[in-house]
Structure 1
Amino acid sequence: MSMAIDGLISGLKTTDLINSLMQAEAIPQTLLKNKLADSTTYITAMQALNSKVAALADSAGKLAKPAGTDLHTASTNSTAVTATAATGAVDGTIDFSVDKLAQSQVTVTGPLTQWPDQPPTLTFVAADGTVKQVTAGSSSLADVAAAINQAGVGVSATQVAAGLDPATGQPLYRLQLSSTTSGAAGAFTAYRGTPADVTAGTATNLLSDPGAAQVRAAQDAQLTLWAGTGAAQTVTSSTNTFAGVLPGVSVSVTAASATPVTLTVARDDASITAAAGSLVSSVNDILTFIGQKQAVATSTDSAGGTVVTGGAFTGDSSARDVNQQLVDAISSPVNGVSPSTYGISIQRDGTVTFDQKVFGAAMAADPDTVKGALTTIAQRVADAATGASDTYTGSLSLRIKGEQSTVTDLNDQITDWDTRLTDRRSTLEKTYANLEVQLQQLQSQSSWLTGQLSSLPTASA
């Protein structure tokens, strides 16, 4: 920290003089800093615009795909049956009955204190004939259950308390064996013995042991279409969800019902209308943002004069081009028909509006034409937005990268000026310090000369 004292000899306020000179010297750097602030503000605004346009490119691109407007609702007249419509669904109705629900097989052994065989070897035969052997490390029922669970045979084992042995008083347990998947394909048969024993017919089926039982049989869920008619047709599923009962429609059931269930699939006009409105809203949000950043603000300075300040995008061609491209994409005719026919209109202030009633009426009159027009408009918007926001080739992305390079260069120049100004201040401080020294020397010489002159003898008259 400098401890210099101003003008001991000269009486000048050298610090103030140096500070004033440095302010003048720093004008070029100040201009660079102002330009840096403007560039930083511009980059921030441009990045916000680019994010909005990129999001629009994504949403409009999805709407332009066949699935974007191929929207349907699926409903039933039963609380135990739900339906979902996806891409490819076709409008229509169908009746069916829910005959059975899918379930997994559950088998329990008889009461045991330990596994009756040593070593405990079991063989599981799946519904498709697959044979797998499981061997436990000991006759402990816990070890047997763990071995089954770790073997990956499609069966889980649980040890369940079953009271006390009346003869010995020892705790009894059962092993509950459950298929890990529902449906008939999850059925299994469990044997005590090796696969060779099963083949030879000498293995013991667990269900033949005293007290063993099959609690639940494996079965598929089943629907019957057109039940009670000559066209009756059954449909099965290993789960309680049926895919493809109708094209693009899945049905989930929670209870069997002999009463016919009616499934209805219809075009989802509400969702299509909402998608069109969302597209317009997203475009309008971008146009409004650009307009706000292009606006010029006026204010009054301390002297009462008017100060005009431009926005971040005032005079910027990149933002202006994006604005025009989006307006053209959403408002240009489709096959010679104005989008206003479908409720999409451009206003005098440059914004876009969406009239749900007009769109809904057009959908009711000619849904295929309206959906086709919406797809075309969405694709044009997606193309325009992608052309502006693409990470590598987008006009906005390239503009941002260019301005970031400018900011880097400005920061380098400002740093260089810091060094120059530091050197300049040091030079000025040395100059004024030398001035004080020179003045002190001159003052000393003046005092010496004055003393010498005063010591000279005075001539007599």
Structure 2
Amino acid sequence: MGSMAIDGLISGLKTTDLINQLMAVEAAPQDLLKTKVTSTQSLLTAYQSLNTSVSSLASYAKNSAKPTALDLFTATASAPSVSVTAGTGAAPGQLDLSVTSIAKAQVSVTAAMSEWPDSPATFTIVKADGSKVEITANSTSMSDIADAISASTAGVKAARVSAGKDGTTDLFRLQLTSAATGADGAFQVFRGTAADVTAGTATNVLAATGAATVTAASDASVTLWAGTPAEQVITSSTNSFADILPGVTINVTKVEASPVSVTVAKDSAALGKLAENLVANLTSVFNLIDSKSTVTKGTDSTGKPTVTAGVFIGNSTVREVTDRIMSAATSPVDGRSPSEIGISITKDGGVSYDSAKFQAALAKDPEGTLAMFQKVSARIGDAADSVSDQYNGTITQVITGQKSSLTSLNDQISSWDVRLAAQRAGLERTYSALEVSLSNLQAQSSWLTSQLAGLSSGSSSS
């Protein structure tokens, strides 16, 4: 129900103003609750931002602590025709090899003909392993023959190629190409069924006059330790060689008679970036805490100076988070300071990264440097996880408490809304009754006045 607007019709009082002033006094406790809601919400939002930042740090640090995270290598070859990729399981090493052949697919062409010489057009492709694929085309046209070969399981693709004319008759050849490179892609083509091939009565299409094998199927090969008693030839059906060196893939594109040097080394730049990003994540957490732990000066709408305290000032939970993560990042590892590998405390209480120091330590003692970095990363990951874990992390538990407090405060405000509405309604009824009473008195006064005036007139007439 809306409020009754009863500004003193009889009394002349500004009833609405009086009720508003009285209600302002009554609503003071609710206003305090609303202020508390605002501050609690600000603190909750700050905690949530911090928890997100610390959780991100935990994830990065734990990943950096994994042994595979440090499997970062550069792989190079001394010839541009050879490319090298280092993957999981790679290790530093160097190897010389000669590229003696490149993997090729078989390419053959048939003799020129106007159409397939047999009807029905049945023929058989014999693969390198001796298996036979019998094919029957829809017709004797060279187009249908090509389509049937390409659609079969023989692993051969066919294309019809114009071969001129025989008088007025168009002639065509079939170019046949193995789908895969390597010696295992070799094939033969025979007129007739698979049984005819087995019986030795089928005609070899590629041995006919005018037919040819343009490119023979062959494997790629590289030679190790050429010219020595340890000489070894390694072949591949493709131009890619895997695990000649552990975790390394070598791709070749042309023959290289001169030895090609393949080198695998630790990627110091990538390892340095790993350490740099870890410190950047640490700095992000500390900067967030600092930004909410400062006093901000300003002015209000009237120009008066204001001072606003950061929501984390004096906060014991935040101080505990800071101490725990800082200790994990900078405490000694087996008696050695992380500053030896470039991770140091700054003068203002933050953490910095010195790239030159990290690279120098990595060059001097690769294993020791990476072992220290892993241990620091693991400690940071554990510390950050303990405060940001989604179930029992320190910050998570505080966030849960803040949400509960916020719910309780909003419930109290709602209760006050009901109470204040009842009080306003009561005041409005009281002042309305006052106006009614004053109206009645005024009416009585007017009647008495008229009666007295009548008595006075009668006395004067006598």
Distance 1:396 1:156, change over 3 A: farther
**Pairwise CA distance, 1:177:** 3.8
**Pairwise CA distance, 1:331:** 0.8
Provide the rounded CA distance (Å) in 2 between the counterparts of 1:133 and 1:409: 81
TM-superposition CA deviations, 1:97-137 (whole Å, max 9, x none): 11222233334445566555555545444434444455555
Distance 1:144 1:423, change over 3 A: farther
Deviates more, 1:433-442 or 1:273-282: 433-442
Give matches, 1:365-404, under 5 Å.
Answer: 365-404=364-403
Could you tell me which residue of structure 2 aligns to residue 39 of structure 1?
Answer: 40
2:140 is equivalent to residue 162 of structure 1: no
Provide the rounded CA distance (Å) in 1 between the counterparts of 2:348 and 2:363: 31
**Pairwise CA distance, 1:376:** 0.9
| 1:385 partner amino acid | A
Could you tell me which residue of structure 1 aligns to residue 83 of structure 2?
Answer: 82
**Pairwise CA distance, 1:152:** 4.8
TM-superposition CA deviations, 1:248-269 (whole Å, max 9, x none): 3222222221122111222333
Provide the rounded CA distance (Å) in 2 between the counterparts of 1:79 and 1:85: 17
Provide the rounded CA distance (Å) in 2 between the counterparts of 1:11 and 1:123: 116
Provide the rounded CA distance (Å) in 2 between the counterparts of 1:278 and 1:403: 32
Could you tell me which residue of structure 2 aligns to residue 94 of structure 1?
Answer: 95
Deviates more, 1:222-231 or 1:378-387: 222-231
**Pairwise CA distance, 1:409:** 4.1
Provide the rounded CA distance (Å) in 2 between the counterparts of 1:149 and 1:415: 77
Deviates more, 1:406-415 or 1:340-349: 406-415
Could you tell me which residue of structure 2 aligns to residue 290 of structure 1?
Answer: 289
**Number of equivalent positions:** 459
Distance 1:372 1:450, change over 3 A: same
Deviates more, 1:330-339 or 1:91-100: 91-100
Distance 1:28 1:136, change over 3 A: farther
Gaps of 5+ in 1: none
Distance 1:38 1:217, change over 3 A: farther
Provide the rounded CA distance (Å) in 2 between the counterparts of 1:326 and 1:202: 83
Distance 1:117 1:354, change over 3 A: same
**Pairwise CA distance, 1:79:** 1.3
TM-superposition CA deviations, 1:121-169 (whole Å, max 9, x none): 4544443444445555555655555555555543444x44516643445
TM-superposition CA deviations, 1:381-417 (whole Å, max 9, x none): 1111222233333323333344334434444444454
Could you tell me which residue of structure 2 aligns to residue 245 of structure 1?
Answer: 244
| 1:346 partner amino acid | I
Distance 1:56 1:205, change over 3 A: farther
Provide the rounded CA distance (Å) in 2 between the counterparts of 1:402 and 1:133: 76
TM-superposition CA deviations, 1:37-94 (whole Å, max 9, x none): 3333333333332222222222222221222334332222211112223344333322
Provide the rounded CA distance (Å) in 2 between the counterparts of 1:147 and 1:29: 86
Distance 1:178 1:441, change over 3 A: farther
Give matches, 1:446-457, under 5 Å.
Answer: 446-457=445-456
| 2:450 partner amino acid | G
Provide the rounded CA distance (Å) in 1 between the counterparts of 2:180 and 2:405: 63
Does the 8 Å contact 2:182/2:236 carry over to 1? yes
| 2:255 partner amino acid | A
Could you tell me which residue of structure 1 aligns to residue 65 of structure 2?
Answer: 64
Does the 8 Å contact 2:4/2:428 carry over to 1? no
Provide the rounded CA distance (Å) in 2 between the counterparts of 1:149 and 1:318: 71
Does the 8 Å contact 2:345/2:352 carry over to 1? yes
Secondary structure at the residue paired with 1:456?
A: helix
Deviates more, 1:21-30 or 1:143-152: 143-152
| 1:37 partner amino acid | T
RMSD of aligned residue pairs (Cα, Å): 3.3
Distance 1:203 1:43, change over 3 A: farther
| 1:375 partner amino acid | Q
Give matches, 1:106-121, under 5 Å.
Answer: 106-111=107-112, 117=118, 120-121=121-122
Give matches, 1:33-432, under 5 Å.
Answer: 33-111=34-112, 117=118, 120-137=121-138, 145-157=146-158, 159-162=159-162, 165-169=165-169, 174-208=173-207, 211-299=210-298, 307-432=306-431
**Pairwise CA distance, 1:278:** 2.2
Deviates more, 1:410-419 or 1:278-287: 410-419
Provide the rounded CA distance (Å) in 1 between the counterparts of 2:155 and 2:237: 15
**Pairwise CA distance, 1:377:** 0.8
| 2:101 partner amino acid | K
TM-superposition CA deviations, 1:227-273 (whole Å, max 9, x none): 23332211222322222122232222222211221112223333323
Secondary structure at the residue paired with 1:294?
A: coil
TM-superposition CA deviations, 1:13-56 (whole Å, max 9, x none): 33333333443344344333333333333333333322222222
* TM-score using structure 1 length: 0.85
